[in-house]
Amino acid sequence: MHSFRYHNGNLHCEGVDLERVAEKYGTPLYVYSAGTILDHYRRLNSALRDLDHSICYAVKANSNRAILNLLLREGAGFDIVSGGELFRVLAAGGDPQKCTFAGVGKSQDEIEYALDQRVLSFNVESEAELAYIDRIARSKDLRAPIALRVNPDVDAGTHRYVSTGRSENKFGIALDRAAEVYERAARLPNIAIRGVQMHIGSQITDAAPFAEAIAKVTALILQLKEQFALDFFSVGGGIGIVYESSFASGSGDWWSEKDRITATSTLPLTIHDYAAAILPPLRALGLRVLLEPGRLLVGNAGVLLTRVRYIKQTEHKKFVIVDAGMNDLIRPALYQSYHEIVPVREPDDSARELVDVVGPVCESGDFFAQDRELTKMHEGDLAALMSAGAYGFVMASNYNSRPLPAEVLVQGESFSLVRRRQTMEDLVRGECN
Ligand SMILES: *Cc1c(COP(=O)(O)O)cnc(C)c1O
Protein backbone atom coordinates (compact mmCIF):
# COMPACT_ATOMS: atom_id res chain seq x y z
CA MET A 1 0.00 0.00 0.00
CA HIS A 2 1.51 3.32 -1.08
CA SER A 3 -0.78 6.04 0.17
CA PHE A 4 1.53 9.01 0.61
CA ARG A 5 4.45 9.24 -1.77
CA TYR A 6 6.13 11.59 -4.17
CA HIS A 7 4.99 11.48 -7.75
CA ASN A 8 6.06 13.97 -10.41
CA GLY A 9 7.78 16.04 -7.74
CA ASN A 10 4.81 16.44 -5.42
CA LEU A 11 3.53 14.48 -2.45
CA HIS A 12 0.44 12.55 -3.39
CA CYS A 13 -2.24 10.84 -1.36
CA GLU A 14 -3.19 7.84 -3.50
CA GLY A 15 -3.62 9.37 -6.98
CA VAL A 16 -4.19 12.93 -5.78
CA ASP A 17 -1.62 15.74 -5.70
CA LEU A 18 -1.76 17.29 -2.24
CA GLU A 19 -0.77 20.71 -3.59
CA ARG A 20 -3.95 20.75 -5.67
CA VAL A 21 -6.06 19.85 -2.66
CA ALA A 22 -4.45 22.56 -0.53
CA GLU A 23 -5.01 25.14 -3.28
CA LYS A 24 -8.64 24.20 -3.56
CA TYR A 25 -9.55 24.03 0.13
CA GLY A 26 -6.85 26.07 1.87
CA THR A 27 -4.79 25.15 4.90
CA PRO A 28 -4.63 23.89 7.58
CA LEU A 29 -6.36 20.90 6.04
CA TYR A 30 -6.79 17.29 7.07
CA VAL A 31 -6.55 14.81 4.19
CA TYR A 32 -7.42 11.13 4.61
CA SER A 33 -6.79 8.14 2.37
CA ALA A 34 -9.82 5.87 2.05
CA GLY A 35 -7.64 3.19 0.49
CA THR A 36 -5.34 3.05 3.50
CA ILE A 37 -8.21 2.81 5.96
CA LEU A 38 -9.82 0.01 4.00
CA ASP A 39 -6.50 -1.77 3.58
CA HIS A 40 -5.90 -1.78 7.32
CA TYR A 41 -9.42 -2.92 8.09
CA ARG A 42 -9.21 -5.74 5.56
CA ARG A 43 -5.78 -6.87 6.67
CA LEU A 44 -6.87 -7.05 10.31
CA ASN A 45 -10.03 -8.90 9.31
CA SER A 46 -8.11 -11.36 7.23
CA ALA A 47 -5.43 -11.98 9.88
CA LEU A 48 -8.27 -13.04 12.20
CA ARG A 49 -10.27 -15.02 9.65
CA ASP A 50 -10.01 -18.26 11.62
CA LEU A 51 -11.66 -16.66 14.61
CA ASP A 52 -15.32 -15.74 15.09
CA HIS A 53 -14.80 -12.00 15.41
CA SER A 54 -16.22 -8.54 14.74
CA ILE A 55 -14.30 -5.30 14.39
CA CYS A 56 -15.90 -2.38 16.22
CA TYR A 57 -14.00 0.71 15.08
CA ALA A 58 -13.27 3.08 17.99
CA VAL A 59 -15.08 6.17 16.75
CA LYS A 60 -13.20 8.58 18.99
CA ALA A 61 -10.02 8.18 16.92
CA ASN A 62 -11.63 9.90 13.93
CA SER A 63 -15.36 10.41 13.87
CA ASN A 64 -15.92 12.06 10.52
CA ARG A 65 -19.15 10.68 9.04
CA ALA A 66 -17.49 9.85 5.74
CA ILE A 67 -15.00 7.60 7.51
CA LEU A 68 -17.72 5.95 9.59
CA ASN A 69 -19.68 5.38 6.40
CA LEU A 70 -16.64 3.91 4.64
CA LEU A 71 -16.14 1.42 7.46
CA LEU A 72 -19.76 0.47 7.96
CA ARG A 73 -20.01 -0.41 4.27
CA GLU A 74 -17.17 -2.88 4.95
CA GLY A 75 -19.27 -4.41 7.73
CA ALA A 76 -17.63 -2.73 10.71
CA GLY A 77 -19.38 -2.13 14.01
CA PHE A 78 -18.46 0.75 16.30
CA ASP A 79 -17.13 1.34 19.77
CA ILE A 80 -18.57 4.60 21.06
CA VAL A 81 -17.83 6.62 24.19
CA SER A 82 -20.65 9.18 24.18
CA GLY A 83 -24.19 9.86 23.01
CA GLY A 84 -22.70 12.22 20.46
CA GLU A 85 -20.70 9.40 18.89
CA LEU A 86 -23.83 7.23 18.74
CA PHE A 87 -25.58 10.11 16.96
CA ARG A 88 -22.72 10.32 14.47
CA VAL A 89 -22.82 6.59 13.77
CA LEU A 90 -26.57 6.79 13.11
CA ALA A 91 -26.09 9.90 10.92
CA ALA A 92 -23.54 7.95 8.88
CA GLY A 93 -26.10 5.16 8.39
CA GLY A 94 -24.70 2.77 11.02
CA ASP A 95 -26.51 0.01 12.87
CA PRO A 96 -26.86 0.70 16.63
CA GLN A 97 -26.97 -3.04 17.21
CA LYS A 98 -23.33 -3.18 16.16
CA CYS A 99 -22.33 -0.52 18.72
CA THR A 100 -20.68 -1.05 22.07
CA PHE A 101 -20.88 1.86 24.49
CA ALA A 102 -17.79 2.45 26.67
CA GLY A 103 -16.80 5.21 29.09
CA VAL A 104 -16.58 5.76 32.84
CA GLY A 105 -19.12 8.59 33.13
CA LYS A 106 -22.19 7.83 31.01
CA SER A 107 -25.04 10.27 31.70
CA GLN A 108 -28.73 9.50 32.13
CA ASP A 109 -29.50 11.02 28.72
CA GLU A 110 -26.78 8.97 27.05
CA ILE A 111 -27.94 5.74 28.67
CA GLU A 112 -31.56 6.41 27.70
CA TYR A 113 -30.56 7.22 24.13
CA ALA A 114 -28.45 4.08 23.82
CA LEU A 115 -31.21 1.93 25.33
CA ASP A 116 -33.79 3.40 22.94
CA GLN A 117 -31.45 2.68 20.01
CA ARG A 118 -30.82 -0.92 21.24
CA VAL A 119 -27.04 -0.87 21.29
CA LEU A 120 -25.26 -4.22 21.40
CA SER A 121 -23.76 -3.66 24.83
CA PHE A 122 -22.99 -1.16 27.54
CA ASN A 123 -19.41 -1.68 28.64
CA VAL A 124 -19.77 -0.98 32.34
CA GLU A 125 -16.88 0.51 34.26
CA SER A 126 -18.12 0.58 37.89
CA GLU A 127 -20.71 -0.88 40.24
CA ALA A 128 -22.34 2.53 40.59
CA GLU A 129 -22.80 2.68 36.80
CA LEU A 130 -24.22 -0.86 36.76
CA ALA A 131 -26.88 0.10 39.32
CA TYR A 132 -27.64 3.31 37.42
CA ILE A 133 -28.12 1.53 34.10
CA ASP A 134 -30.37 -1.04 35.79
CA ARG A 135 -32.56 1.76 37.20
CA ILE A 136 -32.89 3.56 33.89
CA ALA A 137 -33.62 0.31 32.03
CA ARG A 138 -36.35 -0.48 34.59
CA SER A 139 -38.04 2.86 33.96
CA LYS A 140 -38.25 1.86 30.29
CA ASP A 141 -39.20 -1.73 31.03
CA LEU A 142 -36.14 -2.94 29.14
CA ARG A 143 -33.17 -5.14 29.94
CA ALA A 144 -29.86 -3.44 29.31
CA PRO A 145 -27.25 -5.67 27.64
CA ILE A 146 -23.92 -5.29 29.45
CA ALA A 147 -20.31 -6.40 29.59
CA LEU A 148 -18.11 -5.49 32.51
CA ARG A 149 -14.88 -3.81 31.60
CA VAL A 150 -12.28 -5.67 33.62
CA ASN A 151 -8.96 -4.11 34.46
CA PRO A 152 -6.30 -6.82 34.14
CA ASP A 153 -3.52 -4.66 35.68
CA VAL A 154 -0.93 -5.07 32.95
CA ASP A 155 1.71 -2.55 31.98
CA ALA A 156 1.32 -1.82 28.29
CA GLY A 157 4.53 0.21 28.25
CA THR A 158 2.82 3.22 26.71
CA HIS A 159 2.58 6.95 27.58
CA ARG A 160 0.97 7.38 31.00
CA TYR A 161 -1.85 9.49 29.51
CA VAL A 162 -2.92 6.62 27.25
CA SER A 163 -2.38 3.72 29.63
CA THR A 164 -5.72 2.35 30.85
CA GLY A 165 -5.12 -1.20 32.06
CA ARG A 166 -3.20 -0.55 35.29
CA SER A 167 -4.91 -0.91 38.63
CA GLU A 168 -4.30 2.78 39.38
CA ASN A 169 -6.18 3.93 36.25
CA LYS A 170 -9.78 5.11 36.44
CA PHE A 171 -10.90 2.46 33.95
CA GLY A 172 -12.66 -0.83 34.52
CA ILE A 173 -13.28 -3.12 37.47
CA ALA A 174 -10.38 -4.87 39.18
CA LEU A 175 -10.01 -8.43 37.94
CA ASP A 176 -10.20 -9.95 41.42
CA ARG A 177 -13.55 -8.25 42.05
CA ALA A 178 -15.08 -8.97 38.65
CA ALA A 179 -16.68 -12.36 39.46
CA GLU A 180 -18.49 -10.85 42.41
CA VAL A 181 -19.75 -7.88 40.38
CA TYR A 182 -21.01 -10.29 37.69
CA GLU A 183 -23.00 -12.09 40.42
CA ARG A 184 -24.50 -8.76 41.43
CA ALA A 185 -25.28 -7.94 37.83
CA ALA A 186 -27.05 -11.27 37.46
CA ARG A 187 -29.36 -10.36 40.33
CA LEU A 188 -30.34 -7.01 38.83
CA PRO A 189 -33.67 -7.48 37.07
CA ASN A 190 -33.08 -5.09 34.20
CA ILE A 191 -29.55 -6.13 33.31
CA ALA A 192 -28.67 -8.84 30.78
CA ILE A 193 -25.10 -10.13 30.93
CA ARG A 194 -23.67 -10.37 27.42
CA GLY A 195 -19.93 -10.34 27.64
CA VAL A 196 -16.59 -9.37 29.07
CA GLN A 197 -14.58 -6.37 27.95
CA MET A 198 -11.08 -4.99 28.45
CA HIS A 199 -8.92 -2.28 26.89
CA ILE A 200 -5.41 -1.85 28.25
CA GLY A 201 -4.27 1.35 26.57
CA SER A 202 -3.33 2.97 23.31
CA GLN A 203 -0.28 3.15 21.01
CA ILE A 204 0.98 -0.21 22.33
CA THR A 205 3.91 -1.29 20.16
CA ASP A 206 4.57 -4.74 21.57
CA ALA A 207 2.26 -7.77 21.29
CA ALA A 208 3.19 -9.19 24.70
CA PRO A 209 0.90 -7.01 26.88
CA PHE A 210 -2.13 -8.01 24.77
CA ALA A 211 -1.36 -11.70 25.26
CA GLU A 212 -0.62 -11.16 28.93
CA ALA A 213 -3.94 -9.40 29.48
CA ILE A 214 -5.87 -12.18 27.72
CA ALA A 215 -4.04 -14.78 29.79
CA LYS A 216 -4.97 -12.92 32.96
CA VAL A 217 -8.70 -12.85 32.23
CA THR A 218 -8.96 -16.37 30.80
CA ALA A 219 -9.85 -18.08 34.09
CA LEU A 220 -12.58 -15.52 34.77
CA ILE A 221 -14.08 -15.95 31.31
CA LEU A 222 -14.12 -19.74 31.53
CA GLN A 223 -15.86 -19.47 34.89
CA LEU A 224 -18.40 -16.92 33.62
CA LYS A 225 -19.14 -19.08 30.56
CA GLU A 226 -20.39 -21.78 32.93
CA GLN A 227 -22.68 -19.36 34.71
CA PHE A 228 -24.04 -17.07 32.02
CA ALA A 229 -24.91 -17.10 28.34
CA LEU A 230 -21.93 -15.01 27.26
CA ASP A 231 -22.07 -13.69 23.71
CA PHE A 232 -18.64 -12.02 23.37
CA PHE A 233 -15.26 -11.14 24.76
CA SER A 234 -14.02 -7.72 23.66
CA VAL A 235 -10.25 -7.35 23.72
CA GLY A 236 -10.40 -3.58 23.14
CA GLY A 237 -8.06 -1.67 20.86
CA GLY A 238 -4.69 -0.09 21.45
CA ILE A 239 -2.57 -1.46 18.59
CA GLY A 240 0.26 1.00 18.05
CA ILE A 241 1.39 2.45 14.75
CA VAL A 242 4.69 3.83 13.52
CA TYR A 243 5.05 7.60 13.71
CA GLU A 244 8.72 7.81 12.84
CA SER A 245 9.97 6.49 9.56
CA SER A 246 12.71 7.37 7.16
CA PHE A 247 10.24 9.00 4.80
CA ALA A 248 11.54 12.53 5.36
CA SER A 249 15.06 11.53 4.41
CA GLY A 250 13.73 10.19 1.16
CA SER A 251 15.09 6.74 1.79
CA GLY A 252 11.86 4.97 2.46
CA ASP A 253 8.40 4.52 1.11
CA TRP A 254 5.67 5.22 3.55
CA TRP A 255 3.97 1.97 2.73
CA SER A 256 6.28 -0.36 0.98
CA GLU A 257 6.35 -3.55 2.97
CA LYS A 258 3.23 -5.53 2.56
CA ASP A 259 2.49 -6.80 6.01
CA ARG A 260 3.87 -3.93 8.08
CA ILE A 261 1.56 -1.62 9.98
CA THR A 262 3.75 1.04 8.43
CA ALA A 263 6.56 0.57 6.05
CA THR A 264 9.95 1.60 7.33
CA SER A 265 9.15 0.30 10.75
CA THR A 266 11.76 0.00 13.41
CA LEU A 267 9.07 -1.24 15.77
CA PRO A 268 8.23 -4.90 15.95
CA LEU A 269 4.44 -4.84 16.00
CA THR A 270 2.63 -5.75 12.79
CA ILE A 271 -0.94 -6.85 12.27
CA HIS A 272 0.49 -10.30 11.74
CA ASP A 273 2.39 -10.23 15.07
CA TYR A 274 -0.66 -8.96 16.87
CA ALA A 275 -2.87 -11.70 15.43
CA ALA A 276 -0.26 -14.37 16.13
CA ALA A 277 -0.09 -13.32 19.78
CA ILE A 278 -3.81 -13.16 20.45
CA LEU A 279 -5.22 -15.92 18.27
CA PRO A 280 -4.17 -19.03 20.23
CA PRO A 281 -5.45 -17.89 23.65
CA LEU A 282 -8.64 -16.48 22.10
CA ARG A 283 -9.44 -19.62 20.12
CA ALA A 284 -9.21 -21.62 23.33
CA LEU A 285 -12.00 -19.52 24.85
CA GLY A 286 -14.57 -20.50 22.25
CA LEU A 287 -16.32 -17.13 22.34
CA ARG A 288 -17.03 -14.49 19.71
CA VAL A 289 -14.32 -11.87 19.92
CA LEU A 290 -14.82 -8.13 19.46
CA LEU A 291 -11.90 -5.86 18.59
CA GLU A 292 -11.96 -2.09 18.98
CA PRO A 293 -9.08 -0.66 16.96
CA GLY A 294 -9.04 3.09 16.43
CA ARG A 295 -5.56 4.41 15.73
CA LEU A 296 -4.50 1.32 13.74
CA LEU A 297 -7.18 1.89 11.11
CA VAL A 298 -6.92 5.65 10.64
CA GLY A 299 -3.67 6.96 12.17
CA ASN A 300 -1.36 6.57 9.20
CA ALA A 301 -4.22 7.22 6.77
CA GLY A 302 -4.29 10.97 7.43
CA VAL A 303 -2.07 14.03 7.18
CA LEU A 304 -2.49 17.61 8.29
CA LEU A 305 -1.45 19.95 5.48
CA THR A 306 -0.03 23.26 6.59
CA ARG A 307 1.62 26.23 4.89
CA VAL A 308 4.73 28.02 6.13
CA ARG A 309 3.83 31.60 7.04
CA TYR A 310 7.12 33.04 8.25
CA ILE A 311 10.67 32.04 8.92
CA LYS A 312 11.95 33.63 12.11
CA GLN A 313 15.62 33.53 12.97
CA THR A 314 16.45 34.41 16.57
CA GLU A 315 19.73 34.46 18.40
CA HIS A 316 19.13 30.89 19.57
CA LYS A 317 16.94 29.19 17.03
CA LYS A 318 15.32 29.19 13.67
CA PHE A 319 11.53 28.97 13.83
CA VAL A 320 9.39 27.79 10.97
CA ILE A 321 5.99 29.33 11.73
CA VAL A 322 3.21 27.39 10.05
CA ASP A 323 -0.51 28.05 9.77
CA ALA A 324 -1.58 24.93 11.71
CA GLY A 325 -1.56 25.16 15.48
CA MET A 326 -1.97 23.06 18.57
CA ASN A 327 -5.69 23.74 18.35
CA ASP A 328 -5.71 21.76 15.07
CA LEU A 329 -3.42 18.94 16.23
CA ILE A 330 -2.80 18.76 19.96
CA ARG A 331 -0.92 15.46 20.16
CA PRO A 332 2.60 16.93 20.42
CA ALA A 333 1.50 19.27 23.23
CA LEU A 334 -0.60 16.69 25.03
CA TYR A 335 1.49 13.53 24.72
CA GLN A 336 4.90 14.80 23.57
CA SER A 337 4.15 12.84 20.44
CA TYR A 338 6.16 12.82 17.24
CA HIS A 339 4.81 13.62 13.79
CA GLU A 340 7.03 13.41 10.80
CA ILE A 341 7.07 16.65 8.77
CA VAL A 342 7.39 16.24 5.03
CA PRO A 343 7.54 18.98 2.37
CA VAL A 344 4.82 18.62 -0.27
CA ARG A 345 7.26 19.66 -3.04
CA GLU A 346 9.86 16.98 -3.30
CA PRO A 347 13.13 18.58 -2.22
CA ASP A 348 15.64 18.77 -5.07
CA ASP A 349 18.67 19.22 -2.85
CA SER A 350 19.50 17.72 0.44
CA ALA A 351 20.06 21.02 2.31
CA ARG A 352 18.86 20.44 5.82
CA GLU A 353 18.76 22.60 8.88
CA LEU A 354 17.87 22.43 12.54
CA VAL A 355 14.55 24.17 13.22
CA ASP A 356 11.54 24.42 15.49
CA VAL A 357 8.24 24.10 13.65
CA VAL A 358 5.67 26.12 15.55
CA GLY A 359 2.07 27.25 15.15
CA PRO A 360 0.46 30.69 15.55
CA VAL A 361 -1.26 29.92 18.88
CA CYS A 362 -0.24 31.97 21.90
CA GLU A 363 1.29 29.11 23.89
CA SER A 364 4.89 27.97 24.07
CA GLY A 365 3.54 24.41 23.88
CA ASP A 366 2.31 25.16 20.37
CA PHE A 367 4.98 23.32 18.41
CA PHE A 368 5.14 20.35 16.04
CA ALA A 369 8.89 19.78 16.21
CA GLN A 370 11.76 21.12 18.28
CA ASP A 371 15.40 21.11 17.22
CA ARG A 372 14.59 18.84 14.33
CA GLU A 373 16.68 18.50 11.22
CA LEU A 374 14.40 19.16 8.27
CA THR A 375 14.70 19.97 4.62
CA LYS A 376 15.11 23.73 4.32
CA MET A 377 11.67 25.39 4.20
CA HIS A 378 10.64 28.80 2.90
CA GLU A 379 7.70 31.12 3.28
CA GLY A 380 4.70 29.79 1.38
CA ASP A 381 5.92 26.18 1.28
CA LEU A 382 3.43 23.43 1.96
CA ALA A 383 4.23 20.67 4.42
CA ALA A 384 2.44 17.57 5.60
CA LEU A 385 2.32 16.56 9.26
CA MET A 386 2.24 12.81 8.77
CA SER A 387 0.21 10.21 10.69
CA ALA A 388 -2.40 12.72 11.80
CA GLY A 389 -5.45 10.59 10.99
CA ALA A 390 -6.10 9.45 14.56
CA TYR A 391 -6.71 11.74 17.54
CA GLY A 392 -6.12 14.70 15.23
CA PHE A 393 -9.22 16.54 14.04
CA VAL A 394 -11.34 14.97 16.80
CA MET A 395 -9.26 16.78 19.43
CA ALA A 396 -9.21 20.09 17.55
CA SER A 397 -10.63 23.14 19.31
CA ASN A 398 -11.43 26.76 18.61
CA TYR A 399 -8.73 27.97 21.00
CA ASN A 400 -7.51 31.45 20.03
CA SER A 401 -10.81 31.68 18.10
CA ARG A 402 -9.37 29.74 15.21
CA PRO A 403 -11.99 28.12 12.95
CA LEU A 404 -11.75 24.31 12.77
CA PRO A 405 -9.90 23.08 9.68
CA ALA A 406 -11.60 21.39 6.75
CA GLU A 407 -11.34 17.64 6.07
CA VAL A 408 -10.94 15.91 2.72
CA LEU A 409 -11.27 12.24 1.83
CA VAL A 410 -9.25 10.85 -1.06
CA GLN A 411 -10.33 7.76 -2.98
CA GLY A 412 -8.06 6.79 -5.83
CA GLU A 413 -7.90 9.70 -8.26
CA SER A 414 -10.71 11.67 -6.67
CA PHE A 415 -11.12 13.68 -3.52
CA SER A 416 -14.04 15.29 -1.77
CA LEU A 417 -14.63 17.72 1.04
CA VAL A 418 -16.09 15.74 3.94
CA ARG A 419 -16.23 18.66 6.33
CA ARG A 420 -16.11 22.30 5.32
CA ARG A 421 -13.82 24.74 7.06
CA GLN A 422 -15.53 26.65 9.85
CA THR A 423 -16.35 30.29 9.21
CA MET A 424 -16.07 33.28 11.53
CA GLU A 425 -19.85 33.06 11.96
CA ASP A 426 -19.44 29.49 13.24
CA LEU A 427 -17.21 30.83 16.00
CA VAL A 428 -19.94 32.89 17.66
CA ARG A 429 -22.91 30.67 16.78
CA GLY A 430 -24.96 30.00 19.90
CA GLU A 431 -23.47 32.89 21.86
CA CYS A 432 -25.26 36.08 22.85
CA ASN A 433 -24.32 39.45 24.30
C1 LIG B 1 -9.88 4.59 22.87
C2 LIG B 1 -10.46 3.24 22.97
C3 LIG B 1 -10.21 2.30 21.96
C4 LIG B 1 -9.32 2.56 20.77
O5 LIG B 1 -7.99 2.73 21.11
P6 LIG B 1 -6.87 2.79 19.94
O7 LIG B 1 -5.61 2.93 20.68
O8 LIG B 1 -7.19 3.99 19.12
O9 LIG B 1 -6.96 1.53 19.19
C10 LIG B 1 -10.80 1.07 22.08
N11 LIG B 1 -11.61 0.76 23.12
C12 LIG B 1 -11.88 1.65 24.10
C13 LIG B 1 -12.76 1.26 25.21
C14 LIG B 1 -11.30 2.91 24.06
O15 LIG B 1 -11.56 3.78 25.04
Q: Is pLDDT above 50 for 431?
A: yes
- Region 247-256: mean pLDDT is 38
Task: For domain 34-296, give its CATH number from 3.20.10.10, 3.40.50.2000, 3.40.50.20, 3.20.20.10.
Answer: 3.20.20.10
Mutation probe of ligand 1 site: the residue of 56, 199, 200, 295 with most atoms within 8 A of C-beta: 199
What is the distance in A from the centroid of ligand 1 to the CA of 59? 8
Tell me if 79 CB under 6 Å of ligand 1. Answer: yes
Supply the pLDDT for residue 268.
52
Span(s) in the chain for CATH 2.40.37.10: 300-428
Tell me if 77 CB under 6 Å of ligand 1. Answer: no
Lowest mean pLDDT, pick from 56-60, 76-80, 85-89, 162-166: 162-166
What is the distance in A from the centroid of ligand 1 to the CA of 15? 31
Q: At 47, which helix (H) or strand (E)?
A: helix 34-47
- What is the atom index within ligand 1 of the atom nearest the CA of 102? 13
What is the distance in A from the centroid of ligand 1 to the CA of 421? 27
Task: Give dist(CA 319, CA 309) in Å, integer.
Answer: 11
Taking only the tens place, the pLDDT of each residue in 335-384 is: 889 999 999 999 987 789 999 999 999 999 999 999 999 999 999 999 99
Provide the whole-model pTM.
0.94
CATH class of 300-428: mainly beta
Span(s) in the chain for CATH 3.20.20.10: 34-296
Q: By percentage, how much of the chain surpasses pLDDT 90?
A: 86
Q: How confident is the model at residue 247 (pLDDT cuts 50, 70, 90)?
A: low
Taking only the tens place, the pLDDT of each residue in 277-294 is: 999 999 999 999 999 999
- Region 290-318: mean pLDDT is 97
What is the distance in A from the centroid of ligand 1 to the CA of 411? 26
Tell me if 290 CB under 6 Å of ligand 1. Answer: no
Amino acid at 218: T
Task: Give dist(CA 339, CA 324) in Å, integer.
Answer: 13
- What is the atom index within ligand 1 of the atom nearest the CA of 60? 1
Supply the pLDDT for residue 257.
35
Lowest mean pLDDT, pick from 309-323, 336-350, 378-392: 336-350
Supply the pLDDT for residue 261.
37
With b meaning 16 or more CB within 10 Å and e meaning fewer, what string describes 149-185? bbbbbbebebeeebbbbbeeeebbbebeebeebbeeb
Which of these, 295, 278, 231, 385, lies nearest to 41 by C-alpha position? 295
